Amino acid sequence: MEIRIFRTSKELDEAAAAELARPVQYLPDAVIGLSTGRTTGSIHRVFCELAKSSGLDLSRVTFFGVDEVSGVPREYFGACYTMLKTEVIDPLGLREDQFIMLPTESDDFPSDCRAFTEELARRGGIELLFLGLGENGHLGFNQPGTPFGSTAWHSVMYPELEERIRRETASPADKHLGGVTLGLKDIMHSRHTIVAAKGTSKASIVKKMIQGPVTEDVPASVLQLHPSCLVLLDEEAASQL
């Protein structure tokens, strides 16, 4: 696990954007996983600016989302599909076939999850997975207690996370929200993984992720065992290390 600490969020965003661009330079048809949330939005903006200014050829790249909110239409404001399309896919002018996502609605989530991971494998497997760190150590919708051997699955959204997502996306109370996500085993099978965290609210869980025991109580702690994991932190998030 490599750890880089930055003085400001802006410096972190710029470094993260450069890391997102790196795989394309040696693997034109790279499969790259993205996450949504408060940490990654500004990183996506800087990445798009970098890709445009450098003339980065993304014509053969596949982007996908690590997870998705379930129980809402794909075009719903709070869906990860819509957020990633707005933050990355549309600004870069990418084709629809370059962007794949887990479904927001399904009659058979297990089958759809298998089809999703099979499609990632068919395209060459996950070259780079970019993750945000949840305040309780979750990765995607893999909450504390998720088995390390889990593969893509339809998870239960924790009340605290559901409350925040509802607040941030103005989701009405009558919309049932869940989460569908790559499993921890899928995450560990990515060739390269980056996890980013910003702010003092993440300092405690950053310490547990990096210096605590590897335990299913802190899903992100399993990244200590990943063969190629880069951790990007601002000074506030790193303050307890």
Residue 29 counted as domain residue: yes
User: Where is average pLDDT lowest: 31-35, 106-110, 113-117, 165-169?
Assistant: 165-169
| Residue 240: inside a domain | no
Q: What is the pLDDT of residue 20?
A: 97
Percentage of the chain exceeding pLDDT 90: 83
Segment (H or E) for 180: strand 178-181
Does residue 239 lie within any of the structural domains?
Answer: no
Ramachandran sector of residue 209 (left: φ over 0; alpha: ψ -120 to 50; beta: rest): alpha
Lowest mean pLDDT among 57-66, 164-173, 224-233: 164-173
Has residue 233 got a pLDDT over 70?
Answer: yes
| CATH number of 191's domain | 3.40.50.1360
User: What is the arithmetic mean of pLDDT over 101-126?
Assistant: 96
Q: What is the mean pLDDT of residues 181-206?
A: 97
Cα–Cα separations (whole angstroms), residue 223 to 68, 81, 229: 21, 25, 7
Angle CA 18–20–22, to nearest 5: 70
Domain presence at residue 104: yes
pLDDT higher than threshold 80 for residue 158? no
Quote the pTM value: 0.93
pLDDT interval class at 77 (50, 70, 90): confident
- Residue 33 within a domain: yes
132 domain residue, yes or no: yes
The pLDDT assigned to 44 comes to 97
For residue 199, how many other CB atoms are within 10 A of its CB? 16
**So what's the pLDDT on residue 193?**
98
What pLDDT score does 169 carry? 67
In a domain, 92, yes or no: yes
113-129 residues labelled b (16+ CB within 10 A) or e (exposed)? beebbeebeebeebbbb
Question: What's the structural domain count of the chain?
Answer: 1
**What is residue 98's predicted lDDT score, i.e. its pLDDT?**
98
Res 230: pLDDT: 98
Cα(1)–Cα(26) distance, integer angstroms: 22
pLDDT of res. 226? 98
| Residue 72 belongs to some domain of the structure | yes
Task: Give me the domain span that covers residue 136.
Answer: 2-234
pLDDT band at 172; cut points 50, 70, 90: confident
Question: 22-57 pLDDT, tens per residue?
Answer: 999 999 999 999 999 888 999 999 999 999 999 999
pLDDT of residue 232: 98
